[in-house]
Every structure is written in C-alpha cells, then in structure tokens.
Amino acid sequence: PKLEACTKRVIHSTMDGKVEGQLVKAIIPHCSRTAELYGLPKDHKRDISLRPIVSACDDPVDKLTWFLERVVTQLLPFVPAHLKNTSQFLDMLKTKFPDGFEEGTILFSIDVVNLYGSIPISEAIDATINLLSRHSDNIDMFGLDLDDIRALLEHCLKNNFVRFGQTYYRQTEGIAMGSRVAPPLAIVFMDALESMFL
C-alpha cells in the first residue's frame, strides 16, 4: 500500500497537466499486489541453475513501467548493434558479405553473464536520458521532459519489491527480469557500454 500511494504521488507530480488525462488515469495503480519471484530452470546448463524472474503483473509500478517501455523502446532504432531478430542479422550479413566470409573467418557472439542483475541502475538511467536527449526530436515523450522521465525511471527501478514464499525483499542491484521496461533499458545500457569501449 505504501508503494502504491508513493507511485500515485510520483505519477501525479510528473504527469498532471502534461500527459493526456486518460493515459494518466490508466496507469494509476489500484488494488496492487506484490510482485513475486520465481525461477526458470536453465536446462542448457550443467547444474540446471535457476534464472530468477519477477512476475510484476499488477504490482504498484507495473503500469508505469508499461508507459516507460513505450518511451524507451523508441530509442532502439538509434542503437546500431540492436537486432530485432535472427532474420535481420542474416540479412545484414548477406548485405555486408555478399560472397560469404573469407576462408578461415570465425563468427562468434559474446554473452553477458547475469545481464539484468548486473546493470547499475543509475548508469542505465543516465544512458537512457543521454540517448533520449540526443534523439528527443524523434521520440514521443508524451509531453514529459527529461527530468520527468528520469524521476519515473528512478521510482520504478529503485522500488523493486518482491515476495518469495512468505518473505519480502527489495532488489537493490540490477534491473528485475520481468519488469516491462527492463529489455529496452538493457539494450540502451549495453549500447552506452559498447560505445565507450569502442
């Protein structure tokens, strides 16, 4: 109940008078439930460890993360390494290498261990705000400014409460896998990291 009340205050303070009233009304939480933590078996691993997933449906920030996902997803066309699917990747390879690879070429991919759980929240928000500011002319922010988006992201990402069995926790590091805004945030953060490395 405390998080639901706080979420309502944050929504009203950042959105009232800026965002269409019907949209604000639609994302205000009502009769929320606590997100639940469960595990999906990683059956491709030798020890079949569990991937922690947060079922955030109807939690106090769920509808707000839906809204933020609508904003942040618009950034993905500005992330050069982002691929929609395998077909897009294969098409890019055919365009870049129409005659195939040179003999001896080794094609490989790199995976990040525990990507979502390893993303520093503040840096992910900074990366998102920086990319939004560079492409603000092409992004529909629904009447909000960058400070509003930052405040909403901070509220959602720093208030990840979950229940596991009868015990309640707050995730203090990383982004919850299961949050609607997590996938595009992870992509934007990895783009910022890759750009820095390159």
pLDDT in tens, 110-164: 888 889 989 999 999 999 999 999 999 999 999 999 999 999 999 999 998 999 9
Alpha-carbon torsion angle 137, 127, 121, 67, nearest 10: 20
Q: Tell whether the model's pLDDT for residue 186 goes beyond 80.
A: yes
pLDDT at residue 79 in the model: 95
Beta strands in 26-166 (DSSP E): 35-41, 50-55, 160-164
pLDDT at residue 112 in the model: 86
pLDDT at residue 124 in the model: 96
Indicate the average pLDDT of the chain: 93
Look at strands 160-164 and 167-171 and give their pairing. antiparallel
Q: Measured in whole angstroms, how far is the alpha carbon of residue 122 from the centre of its chain?
A: 13
Distance CA 91, CA 144 (A): 37
pLDDT at residue 111 in the model: 83
Q: What is the mean pLDDT of residues 94-119?
A: 90
Distance CA 88, CA 84 (A): 6
Q: Tell whether the model's pLDDT for residue 44 goes beyond 80.
A: no
Reduce the DSSP state of residue 116 to 3 states and report it. helix
pLDDT at residue 64 in the model: 97
Confidence band of 53 (pLDDT split at 50, 70, 90): confident
Pull the structure tokens for residue 97.
């290498």
